[in-house]
Structure 1
């Protein structure tokens, strides 16, 4: 007669299973033989990173056990410029840091690259050094470690939305991490990050075929085969404070057109004569300057005369 210990199903961990921190686990794709092990973890959520649909058997298991499936489809970083987008990574980390989703299991197919990248970015929230982060990443990726993943982790700066009563105890505030408390603050922080993020140019290169974006005609006048130009700053003029006063000098920004494809950017006015209050707020008359072409012509004429004089003296 079988005893309780022999009749119990064996607990088979999922491939590449490991504990990341209290309430957070990582692994490869779970199968039916892993269900008993997953039950022992008392999971509240499973964070699935693959773009493919989740297996029906896994969905049924999660429904029976009351486990929420959080889907964040990400592509594997096998090609250049195929990194996980920063906004998506922000939301992945925000879900992991919310205690209402813990305990959570993070997994992709093998639990190496996508899962490894997410866990590596999560380590930024715990104040880990890059040396320690990459050591852990390589331990799971073994000889298939990808330089692109490590570069992404090095350049990534987390922006995490947290709710005060539901922040995981292991979250550490560091200069690298930005914490927000609302969706509006999250969007504003992401917009500001585009100005300094070193990961944003990769997305631009990917969309333009790997080369530098070329200026083209306006979207309204461009042909069906052309690429529209994304306008840089929304302002129509650029202003810089003039020396010695609070006034500003502006110069208009010309939009690129079909007749003049060269993009023109706003440049600050650098007048030689500053604005002064004694002149009614108007700039003084600029000092006369010799045009470059005229100076070059005068120099050439002087050279000819000198050469002629030397010839006569000889």
Structure 2
């Protein structure tokens, strides 16, 4: 029997959200053929979860704590080249982090902690910000890169950091704010936080740089949104023209009535 995590959800095709994974969840997660896992909270993953990712060749990226990097093969995100993430080779394990330090993803490979990339406050920069804008930017650009799919995004509770993160993604998808809050509160319930909702509303989506390889669901949604925008603009233009014509007719009537023959 496959048991999903309590806060598991399908965000888009090939994109999932979840709270911390436990061994009972592993068969379910394995069935999703996950390629990349992103952690948004600074806690080290458990040994069981690290081993699971390693055995299933899932690249693990810990954005909040700092990343684990392979000493011969690292990749960097466009947001911060110094924050290298462990990519692993084709057919290799992408991540092998244990509680005691770094594990081995392949024979003869070694991993070291990139401590220079760990910020003083990993995901909170002020009293009202639940996460840093840099972390959101970096994570969203990974989520929008089709090369990382299928992908799962996680935090400890599956509510706060990930709810904020997904809310910013929904803004990029042109959702109206009311719909974003409905989704956020559907997961958060009575644990919803106003600061998270405020952060989502104020986050500058223009800061995001779209990758060259975008997932299919994003391309399809953007095309649909552009078509709707064009249709809406066409309707507005027709309405403006109709209003102008009506005003012109009214002006003619005024002139005619003021100058009787």
Q: TM-score, normalised by structure 2?
A: 0.59
For structure 1, which runs of at least 5 residues remain unmatched after alignment?
1-9, 176-314
Contact 1:120–1:133 (Cα < 8 Å) also in 2: yes
1:128 aligns with 2:175: yes
> Which protein, 1 or 2, shows the higher relative CO under an 8 Å CA cutoff with sep ≥ 6?
2
Contact 1:126–1:170 (Cα < 8 Å) also in 2: no
Deviation, 1:145, is 0.5
Secondary structure of the 1:170 match is helix
Structure (1 or 2) with the greater helix fraction: 2
1:99 aligns with 2:146: yes
1:15 aligns with 2:62: no
1:85 aligns with 2:76: no
Residue equivalent to 1:43: 34
Secondary structure of the 1:41 match is coil
For structure 2, which runs of at least 5 residues remain unmatched after alignment?
66-121, 227-261
The one-character-per-residue Cα deviations of 1:37-64 (angstroms, maximum 9, x if unpaired) are: 0011110011111111111111111111
Distance 2:146 2:46 in 1: 26
Contact 2:130–2:196 (Cα < 8 Å) also in 1: yes
Residue equivalent to 1:157: 204
Residue equivalent to 2:109: none
Contact 1:15–1:29 (Cα < 8 Å) also in 2: no
Larger radius of gyration: 1
Deviation, 1:81, is 2.9
Contact 2:7–2:187 (Cα < 8 Å) also in 1: yes
Distance 1:80 1:43 in 2: 35
Distance 1:72 1:62 in 2: 16
Contact 2:129–2:199 (Cα < 8 Å) also in 1: no
Alignment of 1:86-235 (within 5 A): 86-158=133-205, 159-164=207-212, 166-171=213-218, 172=222
Contact 1:27–1:107 (Cα < 8 Å) also in 2: yes
Contact 1:76–1:113 (Cα < 8 Å) also in 2: no
Residue equivalent to 2:103: none
1:56 aligns with 2:47: yes
